[in-house]
Homo-oligomer: A and B are copies of this chain.
Amino acid sequence: MLKPEILDPQGQAVQRALPRLGFEGIADVRQGKRFELDVEGPVDDAALARIHEMAETFLANTVIEDFVVKVEEA
């Protein structure tokens, strides 16, 4: 997701459109990216560390984006 201090015109466009479409009560919308990685083998600490490094160096632009790594069972 874009860092809180970075302007998000896509999210703002969605937020402004919602009342026109009949959806009230949404104070803010932020739009971001999501990657689902299918990992071969066990997702242990070493694999998680690699994925964290991958997200930091390649998937996210950490100048303007924050990221979170979450593990979900297949």
Q: Is A38 an interface residue (CB 8 A)?
A: yes
Is A14's CB under 8 angstroms from B29's CB? no
Is A33's CB under 8 angstroms from B31's CB? yes
Is A58's CB under 8 angstroms from B28's CB? no
**A50 neighbours in B (Cβ, 8 Å):** 23, 25
Is A26's CB under 8 angstroms from B38's CB? yes
Q: How many residues of A contact B (CB 8 A)?
A: 31
Interface residues of A (CB under 8 A from B): 1, 11, 14, 17-18, 21, 23, 25-41, 47, 50, 53-54, 57-59
**A58 neighbours in B (Cβ, 8 Å):** 14, 17-18, 21, 23
**A41 neighbours in B (Cβ, 8 Å):** 25
